[in-house]
Amino acid sequence: MRGSIGLDVFDSLVKRNYDWVLELDINTEKVEFLHVNKLMNDNGINSEGVKDYAELKRLLLERFLVEDEREMFAMQIKIPLMVEEIKAKGNFIRTVHIDGGEGVRSEYFRVTAIDDNRYLICLINITMFLDHDWMTDEYSRSGFIAEAEKMMKDPKYAQGYSVVYTNIKGFKAINDFLGTFSGDMIIFMLRDILHKELEPTLIARLESDHFVLITRTELLTSERFERICPQTYVEGSKRLPFSIRFGVYNIKNPNRTIQHMLDRAKLAEKSISDNHSESYAICDDKLSAEYSMRRKLISEVDSALAKGEFKTYYQPVVDAKTGEIVSAEALIRWVHPERGVVSPAQFIPAFEEEGHITKIDSFMVGNVIDFNLARTKAGKKIVPCAVNLSRVDFYDTRLLDETMLRFDERNDMGDLIKFEITESAYAVLEADAYLFLVEMKSMGISLLLDDFGSGMSSLSTLESFAFDVIKLDKGFIDQIGKSEKAEAIIKHTIGLSHDIGAKVVAEGVETEEQLAFLKEADCDMIQGYYFYKPMTQEEFAALI
């Protein structure tokens, strides 16, 4: 039987990571071992102790599998279910965790078909692969967490130790610029610097250029960070300066989870503003409190939606020449029972990260359409209101589906709703997402390019898609009367937009002077506190 897969090939494959390799006959349910390691052998999993699949299952589950996984795994490894999955997918693989008295290990339970009746079942220890980083030979995330957990049981870490999260500022751009080989060399360089300068007790590469380490707090002085932050990569005639950034979390309570410590160190690193030259930040109580609040807000989204705590506010947009309200921007507000009115800046970024934004935006779309339809029914005046889209909305079809559904009730949506997408979100859309924009346009819906001029504006943005309206960012409007350059750019952007058939709205207009300049520059529409602040739906209804 052993010869059936070729003993030599088989032996070369079976390294010490295979706990067992066996053949299963699915008709007789008999098993035959081709290889068993010492741990399994000592526990009675061998040709003498086990003759059939039922016995193998019983021993594996009872002697090895961690308790949490037993019930589920017992269900999954029933022969007919495995056979069905192998027929569909070519193999059956589950990751399980076993504890044979030497600590928990991750294992692959892998089954493939030899022929119609015989199956090969391997149990492979993959802890090593999961816990180590293939490139730098440091720990990976899971290895770091497992090792750090063990370390924290030692009382010596209760004082004087910190978790440091670190990466290279703008690494992606460096990688694109120099190529992957040099990018990899920079990662090795960073690893060596960290070893030399921060003397880590434990270090891991999480992904790309992101490392985490635990070291003595006394080493983490500002002098040291300032010295090691600026670096230069040299390769032949290439010289590329780059900077390293550090986020620090002082371990005060070793009973906290490692994930908690890692999150805080990362949070500190993220708090370093892009425009500043600081190379490091420490997670203090304020940062920690902000983070906890964000987590709390996120945990409350669904119940807040159900309880009606989210409200749609409207900020009117007026015709620059006549001052008449021609549109509005729908802006979300969270009327929180304890915190009062929470502004979107405090929760939108977190919602985007955690996948809640599409629910919110769908809610806004529904509200805007309902509001305008109800007014239409009552014979009252309506203006199309713009809902802000997040980048994420383009990958979750919910919003498009819902709008489509409403479209079936009515052939033209353009008088009810518009959409705004920021320039930075538009810049990172994948090809598929354009279909969404095209679909919207075919429904008569206007699309606005929001915050134009705030980031890496590019004329190709204007060329690549026919936006109906370009919205000039408040940052530019603020410069009116202060910077001649900004004024020239505004004037020419308006002219350029008109030439390509788009209208222009200026956002954040607060003064008479700004308004006068924009009118003179032939700006079409104005949005800003000078005319109206965002207001409740009731106030807006009364106004128009």
User: By CB under 6 A, is residue 200 in contact with ligand C2E?
Assistant: no
Binding at 316: pick from ligand C2E, Mg ion, none (beta carbon under 5-8 Å per type): none
Interface residue with ligand C2E among 451, 494, 517, 540 (CB under 6 A) is: 451
Torsion of CA 504, 505, 506, 509, to 10 degrees: 150
User: By CB under 6 A, is residue 428 in contact with ligand C2E?
Assistant: no
With beta carbons less than 8 A apart as the criterion, state whether 242 and 168 touch: yes
The amino acid present at 33, given as its one-letter code, is F
Nearer to ligand C2E (CB atom), residue 21 or residue 448? 448
Least CB distance from residue 507 to ligand C2E, whole Å? 6
CB atoms within 10 A of CB 309: 16
Strands 340-342 and 310-319, by their bridges, are unpaired
Binding span for Mg ion by CB under 5 A among 61-69, 284-292, 316-324, 442-450: 442-450
With beta carbons less than 8 A apart as the criterion, state whether 306 and 340 touch: no
Binding span for ligand C2E by CB under 6 A among 96-104, 232-240, 317-325, 357-365: 357-365
With beta carbons less than 8 A apart as the criterion, state whether 318 and 324 touch: yes
User: By CB under 6 A, is residue 510 in contact with ligand C2E?
Assistant: yes
User: By CB under 6 A, is residue 332 in contact with ligand C2E?
Assistant: yes
Main-chain dihedrals φ then ψ at residue 360, nearest 5 degrees: -65, -45
CA–CA dist 61, 70 (Å, integer): 6
Nearer to Mg ion (CB atom), residue 209 or residue 423? 423
Binding span for ligand C2E by CB under 6 A among 4-12, 257-265, 318-326, 525-533: 525-533
Interface residue with ligand C2E among 125, 372, 388, 514 (CB under 6 A) is: 388
Torsion of CA 375, 380, 382, 387, to 10 degrees: -20
Interface residue with ligand C2E among 65, 261, 283, 357 (CB under 6 A) is: 357
CA–CA dist 32, 30 (Å, integer): 7
The amino acid present at 54, given as its one-letter code, is A
Contacts (Cβ under 8 Å, ≥6 apart) of 211:
138, 165, 166, 167, 190, 191, 194, 203, 204, 205
CA–CA dist 291, 353 (Å, integer): 13
Least CB distance from residue 460 to ligand C2E, whole Å? 22
Over the window 363 to 402, marking each residue x when it contacts Mg ion by CB under 5 A and - when it does not, the resulting string is -------------------------x--------------
CA–CA dist 261, 188 (Å, integer): 25
Over the window 484 to 523, marking each residue x when it contacts Mg ion by CB under 5 A and - when it does not, the resulting string is -----------------------x----------------
Binding at 534: pick from Mg ion, ligand C2E, none (beta carbon under 5-8 Å per type): ligand C2E
Nearer to Mg ion (CB atom), residue 203 or residue 502? 502
Nearer to ligand C2E (CB atom), residue 55 or residue 402? 402
User: By CB under 6 A, is residue 345 in contact with ligand C2E?
Assistant: yes
Nearer to ligand C2E (CB atom), residue 345 or residue 431? 345
With beta carbons less than 8 A apart as the criterion, state whether 109 and 123 touch: yes
User: By CB under 6 A, is residue 505 in contact with ligand C2E?
Assistant: no
Could you tell me how many helices (H) and strands (E) the chain has, helices first? Answer: 22, 20
The first and second tokens of residue 205, run together, are: 């590469």
Binding span for ligand C2E by CB under 6 A among 46-54, 80-88, 356-364, 479-487: 356-364
Q: DSSP E strands: which ranges in 254-321?
A: 280-282, 310-319
CA–CA dist 448, 503 (Å, integer): 9
User: By CB under 6 A, is residue 263 in contact with ligand C2E?
Assistant: no
Nearer to ligand C2E (CB atom), residue 211 or residue 313? 313
User: By CB under 6 A, is residue 29 in contact with ligand C2E?
Assistant: no
User: By CB under 5 A, is residue 451 in contact with Mg ion?
Assistant: yes
Least CB distance from residue 327 to ligand C2E, whole Å? 13
Nearer to ligand C2E (CB atom), residue 63 or residue 336? 336
Instruction: Give the binding-site size for ligand C2E (rule: CB under 6 A).
Output: 24
The first and second tokens of residue 421, run together, are: 């997408």
* Burial profile 199-219: b = 16 or more Cβ within 10 angstroms, e = fewer: ebebbbbbeebbbbbbbeeee
Binding at 131: pick from Mg ion, ligand C2E, none (beta carbon under 5-8 Å per type): none
Work out the end-to-end distance of the chain between its first and last CA atoms, rounded to an integer number of angstroms: 85
Interface residue with ligand C2E among 125, 167, 390, 457 (CB under 6 A) is: 390
Least CB distance from residue 417 to Mg ion, whole Å? 14
Interface residue with ligand C2E among 331, 448, 494, 521 (CB under 6 A) is: 331
User: By CB under 6 A, is residue 457 in contact with ligand C2E?
Assistant: no
Contacts (Cβ under 8 Å, ≥6 apart) of 277:
none
Please count the residues of the chain. 544
Distances (CA, A) of 407 to 28, 372, 434: 60, 14, 19
Residue with tokens 């346009």: 441
Over the window 401 to 420, marking each residue x when it contacts Mg ion by CB under 5 A and - when it does not, the resulting string is -------------------x
CA–CA dist 317, 328 (Å, integer): 5
Strands 325-336 and 230-235, by their bridges, are unpaired
What DSSP assignment string belongs to 307-357?
TT-EEEEEEEEEETTT--EEEEEEEEEEEETTTEEE-HHHHHHHHHHHT-H
Nearer to ligand C2E (CB atom), residue 212 or residue 332? 332
Where along the sequence are the contacts to Mg ion (CB under 5 A)? 388, 420, 450-451, 507
Where along the sequence are the contacts to ligand C2E (CB under 6 A)? 315, 331-332, 343-345, 348, 357, 360-361, 364, 388, 390, 420, 450-451, 507-510, 527-529, 534
